[in-house]
Structure 1
């Protein structure tokens, strides 16, 4: 992406634009609906507070010389976790724009951080990486408390990225972690024991997975085959599939009432699917 951020009203009026370096991620704050954040390939991150008079206040999170690849704002709205190209995860204080924790010791990832999520109470952060692992981090201490080996064994894990973890999803209700890899492994892990509960059969690589907001056992996965799949994670069985894309699905979001899915694809289209 070329680094140009624009915000438009649904009536087609542009209300904000800002140009930064190449963008890797962008996210609205989970509580303050006028706060937008983005991270760049040069390692910087930005946070804008958009005012009603169409002006903005801006804060910058400093670069550490590595690409700022992915981020997740914690549920408390006060902190954000950012994952970097060198495998480091940093937890930032949003108000002071300062680093609280840096996870870069021997237990940290050995490859690029590709995915992040957090529990509903913000106590745990999950991360996925090109090194074929997912990790759980205590957000209060910055310590890695669990590591999950997500390679399905068919890829040469010495070749970084062959079975990278592309998406992670924490389910606080069931105390499980879902992981999806580029080789198509969709696994459900018990967070307390680190034991795999189920594997969901997937025909292609995974780009994104999300838990249903209202049915805690239902999981959605976006595939590189252009299919949106639905699973019952109690059994690992597929219970639905939504087709329509002719190329990779790159991103996925689910409405708050879990009735609609919105997908974005490499076929240059976005599609809305009914989940009823």
Structure 2
């Protein structure tokens, strides 16, 4: 009923509230699996958390007003009265101020109690408005923060709040319990407008700096319907209206284009659909790769027009790096420096970029590299770069000097996936089988040779670096030792090719997805199934595992979210119109960025999902 409490913390009489969160597995029939290494201790979720809440008030039809105040410790609600016994809000228990004359006042509220605005708490005025304009609601709930949220700042408060509400008619939501409240959707839209207005000066400063250093830059095209470039005029700021959308212009960064969020509801099988335009960072060509910076504030992508483009995720400002002469197949930010980026191209070179200056720091090339550079990887310390070419070799380079250190034979074709272990002591490349090397000495340590009848399309190191997870066309996913390639676990839960794999942050579980439209979560040591996820089925093309969510990209263009602990469906993000190729987590987990075959890159704000 008070789903807005987490964001309504401005103003009001705030107090401390201790909340004990109990995490229950909704799939109680699933066995609790305890297998794992001898020293494994599952990470416990925090149980006691301290939050700050505004006081809320409720009003029921034909019932008196009462206040609900959030307080820590003592469960008895405080009774704040002055020396004359009158409550601090100026309204005694009978709801009539001491100096009020009911017979002379014509402002009678929906319950028949005189409502003199001069003596009323603004929250009571809002409750009156909700009950008046939402006749199907049996109860209204609100707090001071709900009112403050209607305005950009305190100076914009109207002299007559009731007159303002009745003139502008803010949208009211009514939940399944027939409780009315100001629209959460409109509150989130207003918050986005505030954020966009706040970053407008930052965006302009970035654009000026880019022009000054003469980068190749796409300037957003002027469109007076785009509220992100200029703050809305004062007379329009408080209106409950959708965020404006710009015209669709190929290649224009930062547009708000149509999107939809399908949200799970409490009742099984029920959903809620919200039309929610989101940022499209790019819309105009084939996106071949996507990578996120160390601090999560920037993303970079390679394109078939030979450019590498980089976005600041806060401002959506984009600048282009020009140096390749053919398709850019692969990109990766340095894990040790935010301003370093490597890209691989069909022009048979890899380039190390200084993103802060838009300059080429190093070009990695050699006469014997006769094929396209399809894959690139940075070592965790940022000192070594690996590149994979379609001439059947993997090359290791010194990231500081550009000197080639090793060339490693793999196959007569390009390796599809190339990655360093989290500790940097292993390098793996897979195609129809896999090779494991010591990246310092270049010595081969083992082979991955268990998959049959097709290519190995996906691979990931466990977060602790001890194991490797692969998925292949033979309908299996397998767990291997990173020491020597020994096969440890075979997962045969799919009925079609496995296209995506992911590890849980604690390395205890694995998720696999593929052509059979199913995501399977298993114990990584025993192989025992924990969850089968089949909500809103479509072939699974990408997987991400965060601390709280399992995020999947799908062939139908959607991005889907599940609760990783319970397996419950959370939401589906609709906007792409073709297969999702890449998903990355950015900006401290606030944003998910996805690229697709439709030639677009979209940014999704996870806060919107949590607020809804």
Q: TM-score, normalised by structure 2?
A: 0.38
Does the Cα contact within 8 Å between 1:92 and 1:98 map onto a contact in 2?
yes
2: distance between equivalents of 1:20 and 1:123? 34
Does the Cα contact within 8 Å between 1:8 and 1:16 map onto a contact in 2?
no
CA shift, 1:88, in A, is: 0.8
Match of 1:79 in 2: 340
Q: 1:29 aligns with which of 290, 293, 297?
A: 293
Match of 2:396 in 1: 136
Q: 1:115 aligns with which of 350, 367, 375?
A: 375
Match of 1:154 in 2: none
Q: Counterparts in 2 of 1:1-276, with a 5 A limit? A: 13-17=276-280, 18-32=282-296, 34-51=297-314, 55-62=315-322, 64-76=324-336, 77-106=338-367, 109-151=369-411, 157=412, 161=413, 164-171=414-421, 173=423, 175-181=425-431, 184-202=432-450, 203=452, 204-214=454-464, 216-263=465-512, 265=514, 267=515, 269=517, 271-276=519-524
Q: Which runs of 5+ in 1 are unaligned?
A: 152-156
Distance 1:145 1:192, change over 3 A: same
What's the C-alpha RMSD, in Å, of the aligned pairs? Answer: 2.9
2: distance between equivalents of 1:264 and 1:191? 30
CA shift, 1:102, in A, is: 0.7
For 1:131-150, what per-residue CA distance to the aligned partner results, in whole angstroms no more than 9, with x for missing partners?
Answer: 11111111001111101011
Q: Secondary structure at the match of 2:490?
A: strand
Report 1 or 2 for greater relative contact order, CA contacts < 8 Å, sequence distance ≥ 6.
2
Distance 1:242 1:176, change over 3 A: same
Flag the structure with higher helix content.
Answer: 2
Distance 1:176 1:268, change over 3 A: same
2: distance between equivalents of 1:40 and 1:15? 22
2: distance between equivalents of 1:242 and 1:100? 44
Q: Which runs of 5+ in 2 are unaligned?
A: 1-249, 264-273, 525-612
Flag the structure with higher strand content.
Answer: 1
1: distance between equivalents of 2:260 and 2:377? 27
Distance 1:129 1:40, change over 3 A: same
2: distance between equivalents of 1:71 and 1:125? 12
1: distance between equivalents of 2:512 and 2:387? 22
CA shift, 1:45, in A, is: 1.8
CA shift, 1:63, in A, is: 5.4
Q: Secondary structure at the match of 1:148?
A: strand
2: distance between equivalents of 1:206 and 1:127? 18
Q: Count residues in correspondence.
A: 256
2: distance between equivalents of 1:4 and 1:207? 32
2: distance between equivalents of 1:264 and 1:94? 34
For 1:197-232, what per-residue CA distance to the aligned partner results, in whole angstroms no more than 9, with x for missing partners?
Answer: 111213232223221112x22011222334321101
2: distance between equivalents of 1:131 and 1:269? 34
2: distance between equivalents of 1:230 and 1:56? 39
2: distance between equivalents of 1:198 and 1:65? 37
Does the Cα contact within 8 Å between 1:42 and 1:63 map onto a contact in 2?
no
Distance 1:188 1:87, change over 3 A: same
1: distance between equivalents of 2:522 and 2:389? 31
Distance 1:69 1:250, change over 3 A: farther
Does the Cα contact within 8 Å between 2:286 and 2:304 map onto a contact in 1?
yes
CA shift, 1:275, in A, is: 4.2
Which structure is larger by alpha-carbon Rg, 1 or 2?
2
Q: Secondary structure at the match of 2:382?
A: coil
Q: Secondary structure at the match of 2:317?
A: strand
1: distance between equivalents of 2:260 and 2:503? 21
Q: Secondary structure at the match of 1:165?
A: coil
2: distance between equivalents of 1:268 and 1:63? 41
Does the Cα contact within 8 Å between 1:40 and 1:68 map onto a contact in 2?
yes
